[in-house]
Chain A
């Protein structure tokens, strides 16, 4: 089974990558496929850069997994998507997939991702290490909603 990091630990799951040609069980759906579903309960959808989050907002309570693809790790749109989804109340799994790299773990987690599944599984051990990069932060984010200026003692 494919490996990933979920909630800070190595894990496995049965969810397969998107197949743009047909809707299949146990696969992530493209946004277009997902929009065509009549029943969105326990659905799993993958956003690409440029998709935006607006079309998901009315169904956040029904979705089980939202994967956000990073076709290049330098394309940072997914960070904003993740944060907006969490800010609008999404509580399901938020998974970073694609070319994201372990050195981004801290930022990904802060933006609300709780799962990390890069194309290459080789970096997963390193990614667990990178989760510990920072113990303190200036800004408010999903992991720490209070900015440091409200917490300084």
Chain B
């Protein structure tokens, strides 16, 4: 993974000092609340319902065991002993004290971490595929480009006060696991007809109040032009994006208003003066970034014999076999698997992880996965390089810490924002809905029979829980002071991305498990063989689901 040199460390250290001074000036009245607000936001600090919330950047989801141990220590010293994995692969602390945030940032800087631009109207953490570098279907590792974008976007002087927040995602596979279609900018590594790799550039995707699938404005951008082209897009957006209404301020609204073609032309005009300038990536710069994402020191395993011994362990222990089947995926190196640890055990808030679990994971990462961990935008954690021969030991260790729930990609692997329990933006609680649904569907055989099914819950239309792109999406809404839940069907974050369609009038919280059950029963009735939910929905449409759910509700 990327390792700071003296330049990176200087920048992050100076940012900590700057924020320490800003916090001091705010606390003694020299900075007004209005002035401090965007400054603290750009250091990840929100003021929430009960306490401030600090969002720590995890660049493209990559963490070392040393960083995880530091996070565990910070949650114990400055918080209540747990952290939360967000849908931007970041980590959140729910209970820090404002006065102590500069100290927390200093602790983070000691392990090459920070909270820069994790909120506010600026370029946010760049996200990618959690299986980058190990995926069997990968064309090229996206992480060096994520790192180059991280550096370019960090404290960018021109783009710190944009009309609205700005999110970039990069993927290097055909099967998009980074949701690039629902980002302000989505970048896909693609080959041209001569097999030279470059970027397909999508712009204007997004969730929130107005969900939009991004549009392609460049089919193939040479790698060296990546940063100047991004700069041109941002420059058009910064100058022309709406600032009069925050609900119409995202780039997707500008792209719609101008039209994709006119927007692309405006970008090209800006780009003309930036193209081939000093920010053009050099071969050296790309090679330098790539040098941090080389192969770890993989052992040479005989694939057949390691597969056979894994198989015999699976035969002997069906619970282990089930976990291997549900929570691990193929690895491009023989004898290895990539493992996803579920943070979606029933009864715990999705994405939450305790200090003790963090420390255990750090140890397990050191022991079994080259000391690296990854957060996922589905709010789970990945150990990307585990030898098949170590899976059984790993699984046993995870079981003892409640981290072996075998539900990755299934109904109970719910994506869920912190919602009204914590967030001051939320219209409704989301955690109790997730928990009630997990509790209702506790028969895992039934859950597995449903096949892969993504259920995403957001507590408001800011859509941190990505409800628009859930196969089933749930959105908390406020109706005259009461919390209701709107259901949508047919969203997808994959290659064939789509925005879910609203089912109809919203439901009360206590009715939600019944509503989900009705939807699932309808699906089972209409399903052909082992058809996944999304395929059935796309085949039969929303009407039969609607009929069933609202007939029963009367």
Contact = CB atoms under 8 A, between A and B. Distances in A.
Given A133-B14, A147-B279, A138 B157 contact: no
A73 B161 contact: yes
A87 B273 contact: yes
A74 B238 contact: no
Scoring A88, A107, A145 by chain B CB atoms within 10 A of each residue's CB, the highest score goes to A107
Given A136-B11, A150-B285, A103 B157 contact: no
B548 interface: no
Contact of A147 (B14, B18, B273, B278): B278
Given A79-B161, A79-B238, A135-B14, A101 B35 contact: yes
B98 to A, nearest CB: 17
Interface string A119-153: 00000001000100111111111000111111010
Contact of A140 (B35, B235, B279, B284): B279
A111 B227 CA distance: 17
A140 B162 CA distance: 19
Interface string B51-75: 0000000000000000000000000
Which label, helix, strand, loop or mixed, suits the secondary structure of the A interface? loop
Q: Which size class do B's interface residues fall under?
A: 35 or more
A110 interface: yes
Which label, helix, strand, loop or mixed, suits the secondary structure of the B interface? helix
B159 interface: yes
Contacts of B281: 149
B157 A107 contact: yes
A130 B14 CA distance: 11
Contacts of A145: 278
Contacts of A73: 35, 38, 161
B285 A136 contact: no
B174 interface: no
Interface string B258-289: 00000000000000010001110110110010
B155 A149 contact: no
Nearest to B121: A74
B7 A136 contact: yes
A136 B103 CA distance: 22
A140 B277 contact: yes
Nearest to A100: B161
Interface of A: 49, 52, 73-77, 79-81, 83-84, 87-88, 101, 103-104, 106-108, 110-111, 126, 130, 133-141, 145-150, 152
